[in-house]
Structure 1
Amino acid sequence: MTHKLVTKNQYEQRLLGVIDYIYEHVDGELDVNALADVACMSSYHFHRIYREFAGETINITVRRMRLLKAAAYLVRSELTQQQIAKHVGYGSVEAFNRAFTKHYKETPNQYRAARAVKQVTVLYPKSNKEYTTMYQVEQQNTPQLSLIALEHKGDYMQIGQAFEKLSLMAGKLDLINDKTRYFGVYYDDPKTVETEKLTSKACITVDLNTLPEQHEFEVMNIPASNSVSLLFKGDYPELEKPYEWLFGEYLPNSDFQLKDFPPFEEYLNDLREVTPQNLLTRIYCLVD
């Protein structure tokens, strides 16, 4: 039994290394043979082991990670499609366009144009009316939540790296079920703090009584509190927009005082099961 547990843990650690490698080399050669080498496994066995641990094929994981990075470039940079295709490992613009359009149901041009941020002079503040129709704020009592977490350092758009690892590790301990909730906790302002110094945590709810004595997670709590939240429908690279409205328009004009706890997000559906445009994210702030 002990031998089986050691072997299982070795496989898990190898696959976690593969996830790290994919995120760090999204512009490189990420075929099954290359990733099998990273995992120190035979290519004949690697793809089967990965599928059993991760719940999807390695090719689907790689494509999803590449296209999420591409979407971030389209929203947050002025790189050309040719440059973006190269940055996310596609050999041609045509191949990139086909893959992106199939995944997002929009061409890269359409995706970028629909999410372009209009530049407005600071002498003319943004219209409250425009944003009120976009984001409906809810006030609620948030119960205490017990979480296990993995820390992520760097670009918030890469926190998926931590979630991939967390899901794999927790799943193999049978800590994930139909009641599991997924949260991201974000400690810094990405427009103020240098990207490499940003700190966030990928978290899931868990019954602490079910945790084994020996585990690799950080245990943390979201305290019971009053909170305000808004529901955002759309792809993750667009989440800066509701944050800007919440902190720049709504909260300064409200009667709420923010508590000394970072904002956090709850992910209400699975990016493996819905199109990016239909992702649902609830952004929370604890308040007095």
Structure 2
Amino acid sequence: MNYFTKCSIINTSTYIWLHEDENIKLDTLAKRANLSSSHFRRLFHQYSGESLHTHLSRIRLEHAAVWLKYTSLPIIDIATIIGFSSREGFSRAFKAHFHYSPKFYRARVKEKTEIPMPTDRYGTLVPSIKIIKTSSVKVAFLRQFGDYFKVPFTWKRLGELAEKKSFLHSADCCIGVNYDDPEITKSKYLRYDACIPIPEEIDFSLDDNGLCIQTLPGGWFAEVSFEGTAFEEEALWNYLTLLWLPKSGYSLSDFRCLSIYPIKLIPSSWLDASKLLTKRYKATLRIPIQK
């Protein structure tokens, strides 16, 4: 799969993720990727490991699980959001995928989920949360599938490619995009984009290293500054989504979680990458919100 085709498939996958509530047609996706329908279907399966139909169904049901976990929306509203015309049809599909009815799943998840208060080196941390509006940003990125513990090594690889293309040191930050909740999505399907902002005029020619370009959409975000380890960052995400958000008057506008790091955090060696999970660092965390 050449550079342009791979990037088209990746960006089409992101489009599906952001528009799963719409009646997405194969022809529409193929047109976005500048491919024939049959060629797109084959390459999408090669890229994702799933047929388009299976992928769409899984994404919709996983998003339903996110709504059940992180909101108090009525089940019929969640069914409608992800494209089901009846609560009964949604419940059957959800139970077939997760082995629980939506009602039981919501009760079970809320009962099991522990939400420790985030901490810093001085003890319990009460985060200062700001509401901001951001503009879209063009980024070069690598997409990782699989366990999030592999993320530091994806950052190392991105740093090497950015160095070769001479845009690593022109950026003042890097951006991590988490698309999936590991308690909902199976490990092999977890997606993470390691991104570096680039000037609008930069473009790539053929490239067989997986480096692609996308535009991260702007919008309204809840933002909090952070200093700590990766495990403490996870605790802060849980606080934001499970404690702060339900009481804030806002709801999630989509399910991306953005972490903005100093550019110097990108590891330059395998040893540095292996230490990143326990290293202390500074970051800015953002969740997309709406009223």
- Taking structure 2 as the reference length, the TM-score comes to 0.50
Asked whether the 8 Å contact 2:180–2:255 carries over to 1, the reply is no
| Equivalence for 2:285 | 283
Q: Secondary structure at the match of 2:220?
A: strand
Deviation per residue, 1:17-47 (Å, 9 max, x gap): xxxxxxxxxxxxxxxxxxxxxxxxxxxxxxx
Mark the CA change 1:166 to 1:132 in structure 2 (over 3 Å): closer, same or farther. Answer: same
- Using the TM superposition, give the Cα deviation of residue 126 of structure 1 relative to its aligned residue in structure 2, in angstroms: 6.3
**Which has the greater radius of gyration?**
1
1:239 is the counterpart of 2:236: no
Q: Secondary structure at the match of 2:143?
A: strand
Q: In 2, Cα distance between the equivalents of 1:282 and 1:182?
A: 11
Q: In 2, Cα distance between the equivalents of 1:129 and 1:261?
A: 21
The one-letter code matched in structure 2 to 1:230 is V
| Equivalence for 2:222 | 228
Asked whether the 8 Å contact 1:233–1:277 carries over to 2, the reply is no
- Using the TM superposition, give the Cα deviation of residue 136 of structure 1 relative to its aligned residue in structure 2, in angstroms: 1.5
1:254 is the counterpart of 2:252: no
Identity among equivalent pairs (%) = 20
Asked whether the 8 Å contact 1:266–1:282 carries over to 2, the reply is yes
Asked whether the 8 Å contact 1:157–1:237 carries over to 2, the reply is no
| Equivalence for 1:263 | 257
Asked whether the 8 Å contact 1:128–1:249 carries over to 2, the reply is no
Mark the CA change 1:214 to 1:254 in structure 2 (over 3 Å): closer, same or farther. Answer: same
Asked whether the 8 Å contact 1:267–1:281 carries over to 2, the reply is yes
Asked whether the 8 Å contact 2:131–2:222 carries over to 1, the reply is yes
- Structure 2 matches for 1:167-246, cutoff 5 A? 167-215=159-207, 216-246=210-240
Mark the CA change 1:173 to 1:242 in structure 2 (over 3 Å): closer, same or farther. Answer: same
- Structure 2 matches for 1:34-49, cutoff 5 A? none
Q: Which has the higher contact order (CA 8 A, sep 6+)?
A: 2
- Using the TM superposition, give the Cα deviation of residue 163 of structure 1 relative to its aligned residue in structure 2, in angstroms: 1.1
**Long gaps (5+) in structure 2:** 1-109
The one-letter code matched in structure 1 to 2:147 is D
Asked whether the 8 Å contact 2:259–2:283 carries over to 1, the reply is yes
Asked whether the 8 Å contact 1:180–1:206 carries over to 2, the reply is no
Asked whether the 8 Å contact 1:157–1:236 carries over to 2, the reply is no
1:162 is the counterpart of 2:146: no
- Structure 2 matches for 1:142-153, cutoff 5 A? 142-153=134-145
Q: In 2, Cα distance between the equivalents of 1:234 and 1:269?
A: 16
Tell me which moved more, 243-252 or 210-219.
Answer: 210-219
Mark the CA change 1:261 to 1:145 in structure 2 (over 3 Å): closer, same or farther. Answer: farther
- Using the TM superposition, give the Cα deviation of residue 192 of structure 1 relative to its aligned residue in structure 2, in angstroms: 1.9
Q: In 2, Cα distance between the equivalents of 1:161 and 1:127?
A: 28
Task: Supply the RMSD in Å over aligned alpha carbons.
Answer: 3.2
Q: Secondary structure at the match of 2:253?
A: coil
The one-letter code matched in structure 1 to 2:286 is Y
- Using the TM superposition, give the Cα deviation of residue 240 of structure 1 relative to its aligned residue in structure 2, in angstroms: 1.6
- Using the TM superposition, give the Cα deviation of residue 156 of structure 1 relative to its aligned residue in structure 2, in angstroms: 1.1
**Long gaps (5+) in structure 1:** 1-120
Asked whether the 8 Å contact 2:115–2:239 carries over to 1, the reply is no
Q: In 2, Cα distance between the equivalents of 1:129 and 1:203?
A: 26
Asked whether the 8 Å contact 1:269–1:280 carries over to 2, the reply is no
Q: In 2, Cα distance between the equivalents of 1:259 and 1:284?
A: 12
Deviation per residue, 1:95-114 (Å, 9 max, x gap): xxxxxxxxxxxxxxxxxxxx
Q: In 1, Cα distance between the equivalents of 2:233 and 2:150?
A: 13
Asked whether the 8 Å contact 2:134–2:219 carries over to 1, the reply is yes
- Structure 2 matches for 1:119-134, cutoff 5 A? 133-134=125-126
The one-letter code matched in structure 1 to 2:185 is V
| Equivalence for 1:16 | none
